[in-house]
């Protein structure tokens, strides 16, 4: 019998008018992996997250833990165990850190509210000292930590992060890298990470899927993708490989 994959995308396509932002893409994520996604601007990476989390309808099929989740609404997908953060921080500026993470806890978490777990995730994401602060007071790293804490409060089986390093300085990138490792290793959570910063991605993720114009260029180990001539041409040559 074939092993059930944690996440399986089968020939998925999303068109915006004439543009196929995701074009007949298939891939599989196994439990326990940090699965990386790379590709140039406009490759379809964030759109892919929007498909997995049910923001848009699409052609093809996505299975989670062997169950077809295509067509399910976002909150049902969250309750099944898929959670995500956004490329540009999406937070409620009128709420405190604690209130925001509690909201995540109510949204997912198989529908059960567990304030103790919410508190645990605030500490896990190093936000304890800012717990009762308004979220608008957080700096960019703080906002990114908050999105992660709120997403983790849903008790996801898969956490999907979208360019968590964008806009951070070198020391903040180290802190974020460590947080993502801890999520995978200490919380035993499967992670999908979209990241432009190739040095960080190759340190964190294996395997890595590289896409361009919504289609796969290659999937492989960090060594395989960084030595693939097509990847070098379409991606590593671009200015993001700082
Ligand atoms: N809601 C939308 N309506 C129309 N076109 C869209 C929409 N969302 C994305 N697109 C287009 O789809 C393509 C893929 O966009 P997407 O945001 O998924 O790329 P990306 O790989 O995340 O890029 P970046 O690295 O810049 O974040 C782009 O051409 C974009 O303009
Ligand atoms: Mg994007």
Q: CATH number of the domain that 34 lies in?
A: 3.40.50.300
Query: Of the residues 20, 43, 88, 198, which should be mutated to test ligand 1's pocket, given the most ligand atoms within 8 Å of the CB?
Result: 43
The pLDDT value given to residue 206: 98
Task: Give 235-242's long-range contacts (Cβ < 8 A, gap of 24+).
Answer: 235/38, 235/39, 235/40, 235/198, 235/210, 236/198, 238/40, 238/41, 240/40, 240/196, 240/197, 240/198, 241/198, 241/199, 242/197
In a domain? residue 52 = yes
Looking at the CA of residue 39, tell me the nearest atom of ligand 1.
21
- Indicate which residue's Cα is closest to atom 16 of ligand 1: 44
Looking at the CA of residue 47, tell me the nearest atom of ligand 1.
18
The one-digit pLDDT tens for each residue of the chain (242 residues) are: 667 899 999 999 999 999 999 999 999 999 999 999 999 999 999 999 999 999 999 999 999 999 999 999 998 999 899 999 998 888 888 999 999 998 887 776 655 677 789 999 999 999 999 999 999 999 999 999 999 999 999 999 999 999 999 999 999 999 999 999 999 999 999 999 999 999 999 999 999 999 999 999 999 999 999 999 999 888 655 554 44
The answer to whether the CB of 214 falls within 8 A of the CB of 156 is: no
Domain holding 211, by residue range, is: 1-81+192-242
In a domain? residue 100 = no
- Please give the tally of structural domains in the chain: 1
In a domain? residue 136 = no
In a domain? residue 28 = yes
Q: Which ligand is nearest the CA of 48, by number?
A: 1
In a domain? residue 176 = no
In a domain? residue 166 = no
In a domain? residue 8 = yes
Q: Which ligand is nearest the CA of 23, by number?
A: 1
In a domain? residue 34 = yes
The pLDDT value given to residue 18: 94
């Amino acid at each position: 019998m074939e092993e059930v994959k944690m996440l399986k995308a089968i020939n998925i396509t999303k068109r915006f008018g004439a543009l196929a932002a995701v074009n007949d893409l298939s891939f599989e994520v196994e439990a326990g992996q940090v699965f990386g996604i790379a590709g140039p601007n406009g490759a379809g990476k964030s759109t892919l997250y929007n498909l997995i989390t049910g923001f848009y309808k699409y052609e093809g099929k996505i299975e989670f833990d062997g169950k077809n989740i295509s067509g399910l609404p976002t909150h049902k997908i969250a309750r099944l165990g898929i959670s995500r953060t956004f490329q540009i921080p999406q937070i409620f500026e009128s709420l405190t850190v604690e209130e925001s993470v509690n909201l995540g806890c109510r949204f997912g978490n198989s529908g059960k509210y567990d304030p103790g777990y919410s508190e645990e995730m605030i500490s896990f994401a190093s936000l304890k000292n800012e717990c009762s602060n308004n979220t608008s007071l957080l700096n960019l790293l703080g906002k990114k930590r908050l999105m992660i804490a709120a997403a983790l409060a849903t008790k996801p089986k898969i956490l999907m992060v979208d360019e968590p390093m964008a806009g951070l300085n070198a020391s903040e990138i180290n802190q974020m890298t460590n947080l993502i490792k801890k999520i995978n290793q200490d919380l035993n959570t499967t992670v999908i990470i979209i990241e432009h910063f190739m040095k960080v991605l190759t340190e964190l993720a294996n395997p890595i899927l590289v896409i361009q114009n919504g289609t796969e260029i290659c999937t492989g180990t960090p060594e395989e993708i960084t030595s693939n001539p097509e990847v070098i041409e379409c991606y590593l040559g671009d200015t993001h490989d700082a």
